[in-house]
Amino acid sequence: MRLVLLGPPGVGKGTQGKRLSEANGWPLISTGEMLRESVSQGSSLGRVAQALMDQGLLVSDDVMIGLVEERTNEADAKNGFILDGFPRTVPQADALEGILRERGQVLNAVLSLSAPADEVVRRMLSRGRSDDLEATVRKRLKVYDEQTAPLIEYYRRLGRLFEVDGLGTMDEVHAGLCRALAGAASA
Ligand code: ADP
């Protein structure tokens, strides 16, 4: 299956995505992780990305679309993948539709994880990444509300949205995602 994990920063997409990936054998493609790798390699993309990430801003659609187009075309993603952190804007979502359509593929489901803003802020501040300072965290949530949250409606209209409660224990959230996946598989 080809899946997208959608939800605000700090909601648990990375943790849950890893578990779904291990349970099903589809690679987890995290654009945030890909960018952090470029940063640690000191590539030119890494330098640009770090400055934007540290301000809570998004890397350009063109760059992100190119990265995802390449990564989803690799051999391990042939039978499915889980995207975490992409798409984050409507142009990215449109591009993903186009990329898959060209390959004769579809996005099977968008699993939307939700949690209240004060909870995601608390989680981000407790994990302590370099872009997890309070001002940056607030900025990232604002960018999420403005640019990414509209994707919930976007995928609802396409009939591909499955909503899952991101509160609760890791096991409870995982179970919720598995139920949503079962629903998507039988849809
Ligand atoms: P979180 O899940 O906490 O939002 P990520 O690890 O997904 O964080 O992403 C960290 C940063 O990487 C984002 O704040 C943004 O600057 C950049 N980034 C990741 N994915 C994208 C994307 N699809 N488009 C633009 N910027 C992105």
Tell me, in angstroms, the distance from the centre of ligand 1 to residue 138's CA.
14
Exposure of 15 by Cβ count < 10 A (0-12 exposed, 13-18 middle, 19+ buried)? middle
- CATH of span 2-180: 3.40.50.300
Please write the tens of the pLDDT for every residue from 144-166.
999 999 999 999 999 999 999 99
How far, in Å, are 8, 124, 133, 148, 168 from residue 172 at the CA level? Answer: 18, 20, 28, 25, 6
7/145 Cα distance (integer angstroms): 10
| Amino acid making up residue 18 | K
Residues with CB under 6 A from ligand 1: 9-10, 13, 31-32, 35, 52-53, 56-59, 64, 85-86, 88, 92, 140
Instruction: Point out the ligand 1 atom lying closest to the alpha carbon of residue 53.
Output: 16
Look up tokens 């995207």; give the residue: 83
pTM metric for this prediction: 0.95
Determine which residue's CA is closest to atom 23 belonging to ligand 1. 86
Please write the tens of the pLDDT for every residue from 56-110.
999 999 999 999 999 999 999 999 999 999 999 999 999 999 999 999 999 999 9
Nearest alpha carbon to residue 139 among 30, 62, 54: 54
Tell me, in angstroms, the distance from the centre of ligand 1 to residue 85's CA.
6
Look up tokens 């099903």; give the residue: 24
Give the residues across from 30 on adjacent strands. Answer: 84
